[in-house]
Amino acid sequence: MSTVSDIFGRDDADGDEMSRPRLISDATADFLLSGGAVDDPVAQDLAQVLAAASAPGRAEELMREDAALVAFSAAHLAPIPAHRRRPKIKTLLVNALGLKLAAAALAAVAVGGLAYAASTGVLPDPLNPGPASKTPGNQSTPASPTASHSPGGLRTTGEQMEGWCTAYLNAGSAEEKNGHLTADLVAAAGGEDRVDDYCVALVGPPKPKPTMASPKPKPKPTMASPQPRADVTIPPRPSVSPRPEPPSRRTQPSARLSAR
């Protein structure tokens, strides 16, 4: 049943600026707002505008999707274990002191924090770079029960090197790490301060890293043929359109961006 007031919708509300019959009745307006399609020609024009405004998302509107994913991933990371929380300090110490002294310094930091380490003289004086005088808790000779100490490296195989690297990287404490520093490994890496990078390039990082899309610093190139790191790859976004519907055509006025 359709009367004049159904079509034109007189409104009794106060303050209404339209005193003449309305183009759109309340019922039609409610219907359009809920995403319905209509027959009335005036309303059809309006419906087409609303449909265009609510068309499915286009690629140009998704330019910051990857950034949002980074934020999402960061918000869902597991907390990083304590001894890995200060990579910058580790790098600084390794570069400044050489690995054995740096290991001792790291041990001191882990035990009592930076203040403790500084008070025991383990940390380098920034004005006087050089080997620290005290090395608390340091073992003088590293224990390497399984290593073959052939200086010439004649019996050192790639397998052995990988084994030393894996043990080194997965060692829990600095002293333990020290214990896996065989002469051949250090020689292959080109120095104690390069063992970290060398081993990571050889056998990969010791523990699964958080899957963030932001790039991490790559290991330095080394003498051994490095295995490629297990970089995280984000699947490429489809070039055409996002799910669920391609937004290309205007001829689907009812294809809505939002669902009810």
Partner 1 sequence: MVEVRREAENADDLSSALNAARNGDEQAFRVVYRLVHPGLLRYVRVLVGEDAEDVVSEAWLQIVRDLSRFSGDGAAFRGWASTIARHRALDHLRHHRRRPALATPPEEMPEPVTDKDAAELALDGLSTDQAVAMIASLPMDQAEAVMLRVVLGLDAQAAAKVLGKRPGAVRMAAHRGLRRLAENLRRPQRSEVGEHGE
Task: List contacts with partner 1 (CB under 8 A).
Answer: 13, 17-18, 22-24, 26, 29-30, 32-35, 37, 41-46, 48-50, 52-58, 61-65, 67-69, 71-73, 75-76, 211, 234-235, 237, 242-245, 247, 250-252, 254-260
What number of other Cβ atoms are within 10 A of residue 117's Cβ? Answer: 23
Closer Cβ to partner 1, 89 or 213, answer by number: 213
- Among residues 33 and 154, whose Cβ is nearest to partner 1? 33
Q: CB of 154: closest distance to partner 1 in angstroms?
A: 49
> What's the min distance (Å) between Cβ of 57 and partner 1?
3
Kindly tell me which of 58 and 134 has the beta carbon lying closer to partner 1.
58
Greatest pairwise CA separation for the chain in angstroms:
103
In the complex, least distance from residue 130 CB atom to partner 1, rounded to whole angstroms: 45
- Closest CB to partner 1 among residues 130, 208: 208
Q: How far is CA 150 from CA 140, 153, 182, 198, 259, in A?
A: 20, 5, 10, 20, 71
Rounded-to-integer distance, Cα 75 and Cα 118, Å? 34
Beta partners for residue 128, in sequence order: 125
Taking the least distance from each CB to partner 1, the nearer of 119 and 248 is 248
Question: Shortest Cβ distance from residue 229 to partner 1 (Å)?
Answer: 19
Helices (H), the chain: 4-8, 26-33, 41-53, 65-75, 87-97, 99-119, 158-170, 174-179, 183-189, 195-203
Shortest distance, position 246 Cβ to partner 1, whole Å: 12
Q: How far is the CB of 41 from partner 1 (least distance, A)?
A: 5
The one-letter amino acid code at 11 reads D
Decide whether 56 or 219 has the Cβ nearer to partner 1: 56
Distance CA 137, CA 127 (A): 25
Identify whether the C-beta of residue 213 lies closer than 8 Å to the C-beta of residue 66.
Answer: yes
